A and B are shown apart, each in its own frame.
Chain A
Amino acid sequence: MIINVARKELKSVFASPMGWVILSLLMFAFGTQYLNGVNDYFAVMSGAMRPAERTGVTQFVGQSVYGLASFIMLFAVPLLSMRLIAEERRSQTLPFLFSAPISLTEIVVGKFLGLVGFLSILIIFIAAMLSTLNIWSDIDFGFIVANSVGLLLMVASFSALGLYFSSLTQQPVVAAILTFVALFALMMLDRFFAGDPSNILASLSLTRHFQTFSGGLIDTADIAYFILFTVTFLTLTVRRLDADRLRG
């Protein structure tokens, strides 16, 4: 049943040109960054004589593409997640889901997976794009895998937060703004505590946990952080919708 809800979400993204336009525009941005990365690599490396200054092409290009991707997702996810529940609430289509034989958890998880499924198309494309470097070079696939996993987990956390804010309001735009502000604050958190890296609040920062992945390291502590973050907000969303049913 979760799959059916997710399919429904994907269908409504692709029912209008919106879905295709977003995919192509984002891929255009990532493609340009990739191209620049490859050009810069030659420029920088031709000047780097000593072995210590040299870095691998995967890391050089990959870091710039994944860096941009995580930054763009900060804007893209709120815009995509805002309509998930708020829009349904506004056009009064929620009873359609509520009166079908599916539980609230299935609805919420289905919607979440629908959005993450859409965004993972981008993640797969980015990985495929970087893998083409392998044609003339010998690249580090482990680095790409780690970054893809990191980006996927981060996008999932963004989506869960977006879904929660979308369930709070009837106005998609309000949901988008709230989501963006919350995500931005979470991303910036470690900047505020730059002088005191051991602060507990700093370790709540999404950026900090993404950094290990972008270095090519898959750390279970960071995976646990992202999963907990996602599960927390999905649970809150379920509870919010349940409150609708109880309080009306």
Chain B
Amino acid sequence: MNNFTVEAIELTRVYGGREAVSNVSFTLSKGEVLGFLGPNGAGKSTTMKMLTGNLAPSHGSVKICGIDMIENPKEAKALIGYLPEMRPLYKELTVDEYLIMAARLHRVSAKHIKSAVETAKERCGLGHMSKRLIENLSNGYQQRVGIAQAIIHRPMVVILDEPTVGLDPIQIRDIRALIREVGGEHSVIISTHILPEVEMVCDHVQIIDKGKLVFNGAIDVLKKQRIGNKLLISMHNPPAADAMLSIAGVTEAESLPGGLIRVRFAENATPAEAIVQAAVQQGWGLYQIAPDQTSLEDVFMQLTYQEQVAEEQPAA
């Protein structure tokens, strides 16, 4: 057997003739954090519901550690911890009562329930909230209870649907740290539309748009694509773009409105100094020069709005 924790094979889900998710295949290995990106309505949540057995796929199959979700749902579900987009919390219970119930339902043996609850609370920073009613907790703490519920039985795969939505920046940071920590021993799949988050916590990224997987690869690939070999130069008296091309190392120059020139240079070349010298000598009125980073948003836009571009991307 291979050691994939999650295998999605040609998952397709049809809602009334429209394919909400079509032909999504991917695998995830132990200890990896997979980020699921996509605009609203792209099919992220639908895919996650199928992975966790909450929704039956129209075609295709899901295997969790080699166990088929459709044939052996109980065994497969025992290996998954899932936090849906809407937190499934029973608000009339206290944190302890809720977590004990979650542990029982996930077949934690009676002997270990207490320690499982304690560990989960500790990892999610809920120690001092044990006796509080979930209803009275703040949004962020409720989210932590949701995560605690998903990791209480030490599942092989943790699936979190938009875990940082609606939280304050400090809580978001805590939860990201928690996801990283959980990712150390379990496989984690998170969905989000906050792009920097993906860069911070994920090893792998998948971008899904209109139900189709448009990018699937390591985060490094995305990062490289993002930083690139580009400089953005601002000048009071910009020369023609051709003048830039004469500088050693510059391969491409593009004039932008407002006295800006974007310069692309060859790999391993450092033309910044030469550009500054040329600017001083020829009186271009240089006042700013900086590496030009395509924001992750731009990459995302490129991928989701021009699918033909996406197909040319290196897939890892």
Please report A residues at the B interface, Cβ cutoff 8 Å. Answer: 1, 4-5, 7-8, 11-12, 15-16, 91-103, 245-246, 248
Contact call B86/A5, Cβ cutoff below 8 A: no
Cβ contact within 8 Å between A95 and B54: yes
Asked if A11 contacts B97 (CB within 8 A), the reply is: yes
Number of interface residues of B (CB under 8 A): 32
CB–CB B13/A248 < 8 A: yes
Q: Give the residues in chain B near A4, CB-CB below 8 Å.
A: 101, 104-105
Q: Is the Cβ of A99 less than 8 Å from the Cβ of B93?
A: no
B87-128 with Cβ < 8 A to chain A: 88-93, 97, 101-102, 104-107
Given contacts A8-B105, A248-B55, contact A99 B77 (CB under 8 A): yes
Q: How far is the CB of B203 from chain A (nearest CB, A)?
A: 24
Q: What's the minimum C-beta distance from B50 to chain A, rounded to whole angstroms?
A: 10
A1, A93, A98, A101: the one contacting B54 at CB < 8 Å is A98
Cα(A211)–Cα(B82), bound, Å: 49
Q: Does B53 sit at the interface, judged by CB under 8 A?
A: yes
- Assembled-state Cα–Cα distance A102/B153 (Å): 14
Where chain A touches its partner, the secondary structure class is helix
Q: How far is the CB of B105 from chain A (nearest CB, A)?
A: 4
* B88-A94 in contact (CB<8A): yes
Task: Decide if B93 touches A12 in the complex (CB within 8 Å).
Answer: yes
Those 8 A-B pairs whose CB atoms lie nearest each other, nearest first: A96-B88, A92-B86, A101-B78, A93-B88, A100-B105, A99-B82, A101-B77, A15-B92
A5–B104 CA distance with the chains assembled, in angstroms: 9
A-B contact pairs, 25 of them (CB 8 A): A8-B101, A11-B93, A15-B90, A15-B93, A93-B89, A93-B90, A95-B49, A95-B52, A95-B84, A96-B102, A98-B52, A98-B54, A99-B52, A99-B53, A99-B54, A99-B84, A100-B106, A101-B78, A101-B106, A102-B105, A103-B74, A245-B55, A245-B56, A248-B15, A248-B49
Knowing that A11-B93, A11-B97, A102-B74 touch, tell me 16 more A-B residue pairs with CB under 8 angstroms.
A4-B101, A4-B105, A15-B92, A16-B92, A92-B84, A93-B89, A95-B52, A95-B82, A96-B105, A98-B52, A98-B53, A98-B54, A99-B53, A100-B102, A100-B105, A248-B55
